[in-house]
Amino acid sequence: MVPLSAAFSVIDSHTAGHPTRVILSGIPKLAGKSVLERRDDFRARFDHLRPALLHEPRGHAAMVGLVPVHSDVADYGAFFISSYVYLDMCGHGTIGFAKTLAFTGQISPQTGDSFTLETPAGVVTVGLIWDGNGALSAARIQNVPSYVGLEGLVVDVDGVGPVTTDIVYGGMWYALVDATSLGLALEPERASSLMLKGAAIKQAIKDAIAGMPLFEGSPAPSVLFYVADSPDSAVHFLVLESNKFDRSPCGTGTSARMTHLLHKGELTPGEAYHARNIFGIPFEAGLAGTTDVAGRAAAIVEIEGNAFVTSTQTIFFEADDPLSKGFLSR
């Protein structure tokens, strides 16, 4: 018999190519009254589980994990973990969670056409689109409010030159960068080069905004390269780190990009926005309403996409495994 020290039941899916690993069992009981408090308790006491479950040899740099927890204010609760940071909100992960709930039978056409999900960023509503056979064909997230944080920031980046960006919140902070203005093509074969340039831009932005109260306590804005073919359609390539990009168009990034277009008057409230990843797979976004956040005009954006289950598995940790903590190769 294999001498085990731990085992975790998970279901993996991908949303437009980006993975979501829903961790169904093995997480210790967490303290706190809200999802945010439970997430923070996990980070304080059990952060070692994050690289163990997400990094090699059981995962990879781009893996995103979702930990379901109880919610007192919504139908479900969950927080998101990734290879480098904790995510307050994750659009592709929420779509992946909806697919997982449908796959396990926890939701169905009989349970309804939506559910609410408490995340560390707040409560979101997840609309469910069922096909004629009762399968989930898409999920449509009504995201937390998105708003423009900083406009016209210019940073000088070695190997890239001057970069102009606006920083927008969509559940996480995103630095929006027009790839065409830098002569960059958003194509699969250029992913490594794009990650290196994006990571350099991200570091320059992190240095430039250090000490600004608006961004304190949040991960540095990730760089969302876009190439627009019209005001309502663009290709997205989101650089997270020098070895990690979002394979999907990024749900919260799509929310940020649409909010930015509305703010600039390049998109009208009644128009849909279509974001595609470098493989041509789309997310569709629309404006569900408006509000304000601390005096800033904010948009409530809906993002629609689909996920696909890739595996169900039990992740084992043998007692004498020298790589049980996980590793990343950068």
How far is 288 from 143, CA to CA, in rounded Å? Answer: 9
Identity of the amino acid at 52:
A
Please give the Cα distance from 105 to 111 (Å, whole number): 10
List, in order, residues 6 or more apart from 193 with CB less than 8 Å away: none
Q: Is residue 250 among the annotated active site residues? A: yes
Parallel, antiparallel or unpaired: strands 161-169 and 173-178: antiparallel
Q: Other CB atoms closer than 10 Å to residue 39's CB: what's the count? A: 24
C-alpha–C-alpha distance, residues 283 and 305, integer Å: 5
Taking the alpha carbons at both ends of the chain, their separation in whole angstroms is 35
Which of 243-273 are b and which e, b meaning 16 or more Cβ less than 10 Å from the residue's Cβ?
A: bbbbbbbbbbbbbbbbbbbbbeeebeeebeb
The reply to whether omega before 188 is within 30° of 0 (cis) is no
Question: Cβ distance 86 to 292 under 8 Å?
Answer: no
Q: How far is CA 252 from the centre of its chain?
A: 6
Given 250, 298, 303, 307, which residue is catalytic? 250
Instruction: Judge whether 90 counts as a catalytic residue.
Output: yes
* Contact between 205 and 239 (Cβ < 8 Å): no
Task: Give the torsion through C-alpha atoms of 117, 141, 90, 192, to 10 deg.
Answer: 160
Beta bridge partners of 12: 21, 311
Out of 10, 69, 87, 90, pick the active-site residue. 90
How many CB atoms lie under 10 A from the CB of residue 172? 23
The catalytic residue positions are: 90, 250
